A and B are shown apart, each in its own frame.
Chain A
Amino acid sequence: MSDVVTAPAREPAEGLLGPTPGQTVGPFFGYALPYTRGNELVEPGTPGAVRLHGTVYDGAGAPVPDALIEIWQTDPAGKVVARSGSLLRDGTFTGWGRAETDREGGYWFRTLNPGATEPGRAPFFVVTVFARGLQDRLFTRAYLPDATTDDAADGVALIPGALENDPLLASLEPERRATLVTAREPDGSLRFDVRLQGEGETVFLTYDEGPAAGKDGVGA
C-alpha cells in the first residue's frame, strides 16, 4: 500500500552509536565468572560487616540455581570506591562483588552497609542479575531498610524519611516498592530476594529515557 509510511530506520538516539546487544550468560558461566572470595567484600570479623543474602526465583516460584548476582556500592561513608583488587581480594574494600546462586537459588555477600552519597539520601546496593534463560542483564537496587548515618561504621541509625523521600521508591506503588527494600533479619543480616517474574516481581530498572526505554528489548 502506497500510503503506508514505513518507520524510518532510526539510530538509537541522536549522536549515539548503535549499542552492542546483550546475550544470555548461558548455562556454563559457572566455571568462568565466579572466583574465589568474589562474594566476600570484607574479611570475617571486619567491624560493620553485614551479610546480604537472598534467593532468586523464577515465575513459577522455583529457585534459580544458575543465576549470577553482582553488587556495586558506596562505602559506609557514602564514598564511591575507586580501588582495584576485586578479583584478588587482599583486604581492600572495593565496593564490588559477584556471587553465583547455589542449588537452592541462594546467594550471599559479606560486605559493609553502603552509605548515603548525599546527606539524607537512602543508601542502596546496585544489584545486577544474570541467569541462564535471561537474555539480558537486569539492574535493580536493594535499599537498606534503616539508613546508615555517615559515621555509622559499626551500626545503623535511621535517617527519618530517607526511604519515603527517595525519588525512585516514591514513584512506585507500595507493594512494588517493597521489592526494592531489604529486610533486616534478627541476626542483623539483610535479606534481598529477587523474583524474575510473576507475583512479587522485583522492580527492574532502566536508566534510559524516552517512550521506549522500559520496553523489552530496548535500551540494551
Chain B
Amino acid sequence: MNETGPDTALDTAAESQAQLSAEIEAGHDAYQKGLEEGAPEELGPRRDWPPYRSSLLRHPTKDLHHADPETIELFAPVFGERDIGALEADLTVQHNGEPIGERIVVRGRVVDGQGRPVRRQLVEVWQANAAGRYIHKRDQHPAPIDPNFTGIGRMLTDDDGWYQFQTIKPGPYPWKNHFNAWRPAHIHFSLFGRELTQRIVTQMYFPGDPLFPLDPIFQSIQDPRARDRLVATYDHDVSQHEWATGYRWDIVLTGSHRTWTEPEDGDE
C-alpha cells in the first residue's frame, strides 16, 4: 500500500493551501502574459503543472509529435447493448438498499467538434459517495462507506448523442497533495468518440463549488472558459417531481480528422 495515501507521490502535506494557491495564481498570470505576447491559447489541461504534485514525474517533457491519423485511428471501437447491463445507468439500484444522499439525474449530449452527435457510444462514470468516500482500497480517509453505493455506471449514448444516468451527488473529499487539500465534488467520465483520436477521460463538476479556485487539478486548465466547460448546470427540466434534482452536462470531443460521407452511422 502507498503509505502517503491517495493521489500523491511525495509527502508534500506540509505545504499550505496558501502556497499552492500562490503557485496556481503565478501559473495563470504567466499564461495570461504569454497570451498577450502571442502564445497559443491552451484548451486542455496542462500536463506539466507542478501544483498537482503527482504530475511532476509523470508528464512528458517533449512536445507531442504530430502524426497524420491512419485508418485505425480514424475509427473507434464499437460497443453494443450486450456490453452493458440494463441497470448500469442507475447507480442507486445496484444493491439491496437505497444509498444515502441527494438523488440526482445527470443528462447531456456527446458531440464532436463539428457538433455532430456521437451515437451509440460508450460512456463510463465513477465517483465517490455522498460522504466523499470511494469504494477503493486506496481511499482510507475517515468518511463512511455506503454499503448501498458502489459508484460505477456505464451506458451508451442514444441515436442523437444523449446519455443519462441516475446517481447520488458525490461529496468533496480530502487528498494529500498538500495540507488540508480538498477536491471539489466531481464525477469521473470516460468517453469515446467516432474516432480514436477523440478519446478522453475527464471530470464533471457541480456549479458554484467554493473549492474550484483551490484545486490544482481543476486549475490545471489555464483558460477560464475551458474550465467552465467541465461544470454542469442545474437544469430544472432534468429534475424529476418528488424524486431527483437534475444536472445537464454536454461534452464536446475534438474535431474529426476523417472525411465523413453520409450516412455516417453504418459501422455495425
B-binding residues in A (CB < 8 A): 4-7, 9-10, 12-13, 15-33, 58-60, 62, 64, 70, 72-74, 80-88, 94-96, 114, 117-118, 121, 124, 126, 128, 130-139, 141, 167-168, 171-172, 196-198, 201-209, 211-220
Contacts and interface: CB of A to CB of B under 8 A. Distances in A.
Contacts, number: 304
Contacts of A62: 57
Interface string B188-229: 101000001101111100000000000001101110011101
Contacts of A64: 58
The 8 nearest A-B residue pairs measured at CB: A220-B44, A84-B80, A133-B54, A212-B40, A32-B126, A217-B42, A96-B77, A214-B63
Contact of B45 (A15, A23, A27, A201): A23
**Chain A CB within 10 Å — which of B218, B225, B255 has the most?**
B255
A59 B58 CA distance: 6
Given A23-B202, A32-B188, A85 B83 contact: yes
Given A84-B81, A136-B44, 5 more contacts: A10-B41, A23-B218, A130-B201, A135-B59, A218-B41
Interface of B is mostly: loop
Contacts of B54: 132-133
A143 to B, nearest CB: 11
7 contacts: A22-B200, A30-B136, A32-B124, A136-B200, A204-B65, A205-B65, A217-B45
Given A205-B64, A209-B66, A217 B77 contact: no
A84 B78 contact: yes
A87 B64 contact: no
A121 B71 CA distance: 11
B158 interface: no
A216 B268 contact: no
B57 A33 contact: no
Given A7-B36, A31-B126, A21 B44 contact: yes
Given A12-B113, A59-B57, A220 B254 contact: yes
B261 interface: no
A219 B136 contact: no
A86 B267 CA distance: 15
A60 B122 CA distance: 35
Nearest to B253: A19
Contacts of B124: 32-33
A29 B251 CA distance: 20
Interface residues of B, number: 94
A190 B218 CA distance: 37
Contacts of B136: 27-28, 30-31
B252 interface: yes
Contacts of B268: 82-84
Contact of B202 (A22, A80, A124): A22
A139 B202 contact: no
Contacts of B65: 168, 171-172, 203-206, 214
Interface in B40-79: 40-49, 52, 54-73, 75-79
Nearest to B195: A207
A189 B190 CA distance: 30
B84 interface: yes
A215 B251 contact: no
A12 B252 CA distance: 12
A117 B72 CA distance: 8
A175 to B, nearest CB: 12
Contact of B40 (A72, A133, A198, A218): A218
Given A20-B230, A20-B252, A139-B197, A218 B43 contact: yes
A44 to B, nearest CB: 22
Contact of B83 (A5, A58, A86, A117): A86
B72 A204 contact: no
B101 interface: no
A118 B253 CA distance: 28
Contact of B46 (A26, A33, A217): A217
Interface in B166-203: 188, 190, 196-197, 199-203
B82 interface: yes
A85 B80 contact: yes
A18 B52 contact: no
A58 B57 contact: yes
Nearest to B134: A28
B40 A215 contact: yes
Nearest to A210: B40
